[in-house]
Amino acid sequence: MNSGRRHTKKAFPWRRSLWIASLLTPALVVMVLFVLWPLLSAFRLAFYEFNGLQPTGFIGFENFRKVLFEQPYSGWTYNALKHNIIAFVALMVFENGTAFLLAYALLKALPGHRIHQVIVFLPVVLSAVIVGFLWKLFLHPLFGLVNQTLALVGIGAIPWLGNENTALGSVLFANVWHWLGFPTLVLLAGMQRVGKEVIEAARLDGAGDYVLMTRIIWPLIAPSVTIVTILTFIGSFNWFEIPYVMAGLTGSPGGATDVLGLYFYRTAFGSTTTGIQDFGQGSALAVMMFIIVAGVTAIALRYLRRREIEL
């Protein structure tokens, strides 16, 4: 039987190659057309000056210089970048931290854990636009659920999305509410793979919940933590929908919720109410975002994988 198969392979190697090629081609065409080509175009356009909507000439790194070193563009770039970094740190601590605790609670299979699992995951299936709109209503200064509840205890109207000090936190909160279920599920799946005998052995040795979580579960779910960390990083730097719905294209108030995704969009494609399109500077921002996301992801993956082995 085996020798027969080998014989077929030798006799018709081109058939097998053709078969593999025919399977790969559709995906490859889609990748080239919709991923590689736009990416290469963005790289090319980042080096061109635009007069109106047409490229007028090659200007080297001028677009990069402007967005990195020339005011007011550089100020806007670093402001948006700062918010992306804050978003990553905040999501790691509040979203993934809560997700870890929730996953551990669900692992313990307390009464009603199945319904809790559904409730935690439910917002994930909603569209980001719906979530953003919903929380914009909840946080409305006059009619919102949050302020109406606070009014019961005598707290006055707080402009959650209108105050520079609370706007980013409010948008992040909505994001945590939306996505909490995803890391919870990934971490729970990781925890469920930890052998029961390991947990029981730790329990017999007198380990409490804290020791079990920090010394046993945490090291053993390292692959899940790697996935969650990388996805959170990519999500934080490609963040667009919820800030766009809740704070608008300008990242209001006064850029307090501006992130690179919003800044890129309004630079490249303009806005009816703010001004004109600049594909050159927009492409430079897109290239920088790509370099940050791809570069940091590659380095982080290397580090986290090594950590998985060490642990």
Partner 1 sequence: MSRRRIGLALAAASLAWGLAASVAHATDISFWTWRQEDKAAYNELFADFTKANPDIHVKFESFPDENYPTIVSTALAAGKGGDVIHTHAYGWLEQFVKAGYFEPQDLTTVPSLANQPADALVAGTYRADKKVYSLPFASQTLGLFINKDVFTKAGLTPPTSWDEFITVSKALKDKGIYPLANGMGTSWFNEMFVAIFTNPFLGQDFVSDLTSGKTTFKDPRYVAALGKLLELRDYMPPGFEGIDYDTAGQLFISGKAAMLAGGSFDIASYRTQNPAINMDFVAPPMAKAGDTPQVTKFFDGGYAVNAKSANKEAALKLVNWMGTKEFGDKFSALLGNISPIKGVVIKDELLAHVAKLNETAMPHINVVYFRFEKPTGSELLQGDITKMMSGSITPDQLAADLTNGLAKWYKPFQGK
Interface ranges with partner 1 (CB under 8 A): 51-54, 71-73, 139-143, 147, 156-164, 248-250, 252-255, 269-278, 281
Query: Cβ 160 to partner 1, closest distance in Å?
Result: 6
Cα 272 to Cα 187, 249, 276: the distances in Å are 43, 11, 8
Nearer to partner 1, 63 or 175 (CB): 63
Indicate the residue among 53 and 119 with the shorter CB distance to partner 1.
53
- Closest to partner 1 by CB, 170 vs 184, is 170
SS3 of residue 146 by DSSP? helix
Torsion of the alpha carbons at 47, 51, 56 and 62, rounded to the nearest 10: -30
DSSP string, 210-246: HHIIIIIIHHHTHHHHHHHHHHHHHHHHT--HHHHHH
Query: Shortest gap between Cβ of 231 and partner 1 (angstroms)?
Result: 28
Alpha helices in the chain (DSSP H): 2-11, 13-31, 37-45, 62-69, 73-90, 97-107, 113-121, 128-138, 145-152, 167-179, 181-192, 196-204, 209-211, 218-220, 222-237, 241-247, 260-269, 279-310
Between 157 and 293, whose beta carbon lies closer to partner 1? 157
| Nearer to partner 1 (CB atom), residue 68 or residue 301 | 68
Nearer to partner 1, 102 or 245 (CB): 245
Residue 305 sits at φ, ψ, to 5 deg, of -65, -40
Tell me the β-bridge partners of 139.
Answer: none
Structure tokens at 273: 């109410």
Shortest separation between residue 279's beta carbon and partner 1, angstroms: 9
Tell the smallest beta-carbon distance from residue 150 to partner 1 (Å).
Answer: 11
DSSP 47-65: TEEEETTEEEEE-TTHHHH
List 57's β-bridge partners, or say none: 49
Cβ atoms 296, 288 nearer than 8 A: no
Phi-psi region of 60 (alpha: psi -120 to 50; beta: other; left: phi over 0): left
Pick the closer one to partner 1 by CB: 47 or 73: 73
Residue placing its CB nearer to partner 1 in the complex, 186 or 260: 260
Minimum distance from CB of 255 to partner 1 (Å)?
6
Q: Tell me how far apart the alpha carbons of residues 214 and 245 are, in angstroms, rounded to a whole number.
A: 38
